[in-house]
Structure 1
Amino acid sequence: MVLPIQLRRVIHATLGGLVLFQSIVDAASSSQPASSSFSVKDGSGQLSFAINVPDDSNDIFFHMSAPSDSQWAAVGAGGGMTGALMFVIYPAKSDSSNVTLSPRIGRGHFMPTFAPSIDIEVLDGTSISDDVWTVNAKCSNCRNWNGGSLDVTSKTQPWIYAVGPSGSMASDSQEANIQQHQFFGHFTLDMVAATGKSGVPGGGTSSASPSSSTSTSPSKTSKTSTASPTSGGKGSHSGDDNNSGNYSSGPITSPPHWGIVAHAVLMSLAFVIFFPFGILCLRAFGKVRLHWIAQAFSTMVLIAGFGLGIYISKKGSMFNKFNAPHQIIGLIVFGCCILQIPFGTVHHMIFKRTRKSTAMGLLHRWNGRIFLTLGFINGIVGLNWAGDNRQIIPYAVVGGVLAIMLAAAIIFTERRNKRKGNYQAQRQSSVSHERHGSSDDNVRLTDLGDHSSPERKIRV
């Protein structure tokens, strides 16, 4: 059947329009940067991250967004905190509509450290809007860093993420202290799919559950898979092989703030003031009983602080394995402190009978020096672990000054006692010599008297 010429013209025009429309769509799609992205539901909002790996440079571009009801949010390249390159964002102080982007290197259970060597540039579109932080950035040297690297050829490159506690925080400093996270997890991204045309990638998916989406090409389709969240457990993304692999997420329980503060105060008082005062009582003033009383009180303060340390460690789901350096050193210090009691008691009992130095006394002295030094150092480690680096310098200065004063007082007292002992010994020797000399003279005089008596009698 022959179609009317008008109908054929309409069909040809329609097909031509469709071809033109498809060409426009393809052209627009081909101009989009390659990307691989991840998003996870977090409380009242969603944390999203997308990355682009240019195929014509060593740069990387990324987009990150997070809800503004937390103090900070972060995404990091790596399978764990140790050695991970982390992008931490929090509100700027000088501009309430902008954010501060801080590249940091993870150090295990410690607060990640600002990495000034990371060359990162904040791009247009970075802002705070509708209670959401948004960051667009380019990094020129984020494929390799001190402690790790980004494998752009991997389809399962590991990443981590974390969200800080709720509350307000604002700082223009990239070295600002951040509090321990209350939500964390890890995921993987297909870096091969993210490689292609350069540019800031789009945001994460709008899924309400933890998800990972990976663009299989920069121009056409994207494949998304989702998994339900598990508290601290693992879920696997099912579906196409181009999707990211495993992720784990879950809220963490944080120890009470009052417990952390009380633990820090008690331990600081014990090692900076109370224990040194007990040493001073014995070594400078020679007061044995006062030494015992002071050290017994100091030990009770230490036991209270140690008990609080155990309590807050069990309350924090990140710390209940007791494998952090501060916890390990703390256990050693507590054991050394308890050993001081039998060492000192046995030494005192033996010394009262023999008035001589004992092996227990030697152990008591050196064990005390070791545990006091470790305890003081562990205070610095603990402050750093808690992210309260501002208190480290005052703590170290006060403790150092008091330690110098204590050492000076002990040295001065011992030298004074030594001089006094030498003087008394010399005086006693002199007196003894004088007495011995007088006795000899008396003997000689007596002898002379005895011998002269007959002569006098004869003369008489």
Structure 2
Amino acid sequence: MKVLDTEPWLPSILFLTVFIAGVLATRPASTFIVQGDQKSNLTLSVNVPLDPTNDDLFFHVSAPAGHAWVGFGFGTEMKDALIFVAYPSENGKNVTLSPRIGPYHEEPEHTKAVGVHILEGTFVDNETYNINAHCTSCRSWPLRAAERGKIDVTSTAQPMIYALGPVDSFLHSDSQEASITQHIAYGKLMMDLTTATGEGGVPSLSTTESGVVHGQYPPSGRLTTIVHGVIMAACFVVFFPLGALLTRLPVHHAFWIHVICQCSTILLILVGFTLGIYNSVHNNKHPKLNSPHQGLGLTLILLLIIQPTLGFRGFLYHRKEPQPHSLTLAGKIHRYLGPGIILAGIINGALGLVFANDTDRLPAYFGLFLFIAIIYALTYRIFQRRRVRNNAVNSAAAANFRAGATPATAWAGSAVASRSAYDVPLQSYEDVDRLSHRTSPSLGSFRGGNADVEHAPPVSVNVMPKNEETRMS
């Protein structure tokens, strides 16, 4: 066999030719990789066909399948952005891709002005969304009042947004108009579309860093959300009920302790309320404050501002009338509005967990409420029984009974102080020397509290038969 002699540089030329051909065959792409944890990594790659008459785009998206949906869009924010939302199909084996127009921080609405087609290689399994798609007429889209949104394919910094839906939320639908729940992670990016321009087709992920941008999810405000929830739960489940309970317990200065406790809790509520408003506006989560949780929260804040005023008016009335015959209207409203606010606040806490997509904590939340309620009920019952017992021991009759015989114990209080000015003391049953006989002293004369039984006129009673007059002499 004859071996051909070759120039030493020929193999290098052949290798370089194959490499260049491979590079030219690779469709250009601009890629953005979001580096989160294992459950939130997201890769977005866009291809812009070079044909100037072509108004299409190709893109590739991969994301964890644990999220109910994954979405991305062209625009600086949700308002007026062209958004593509992907979620599992009805059978759970394929992907439904829905083009939508974003209103102002509300659920994006499906649009038929933009066409989208799922391409080969698209699937969803237990771990990953893998989406290859082609959109038509998507470089511009209609908006309100004859306006149009637009993608600048010549821009080196095209604004885009992306988001991931809640985890473990079931959404399987073949409809492009399926309703989606609010995202739990989102972000913004700038895409260089000039590096994505070339031969049209599904973008290829380059093994180099050319055209690849790495990013991270912005702070989600999770810490402030947790602090908001803890403050509100502590106020409505612990502090407010405690302040109400103090007014029903035999505690010294219970009224003023009640005032201090409730007013301090209201101030703490205002701090938690401020954090809640900040979370909604800063995180673009119902910034119009029109969700059920936010609406009920605003109502409770207004009632909490009114509640101390009603209580103070009742206090002024009781100072003028130490023994009023009944509560004033303000006092009655204050008495019954307080428990209503507490109950509504506890319900709103559950709505808050739903609002934050944190329903896994609902059982623990209601368990804490039930535990605190049992503790308060037992405490009230114990003090109530002790109050009844002390009232019996310190009653006027009990004080008269033990006068001169049984001194009041320290825990029972002062027997003398409990006696009324109108009580008639009874003779001690142990003072037998002062009782000469059992004749009633009621008609005799009293000197120094002792009956003069020797000069008391005799009393006789003749009992007549039934229907006859009783005579006394």
Q: What is the TM-score of this pair, normalised by structure 2? A: 0.48
Higher RCO (CA 8 Å, separation ≥ 6 residues):
1
Considering only CA atoms, is the larger Rg found in Structure 1 or Structure 2?
2
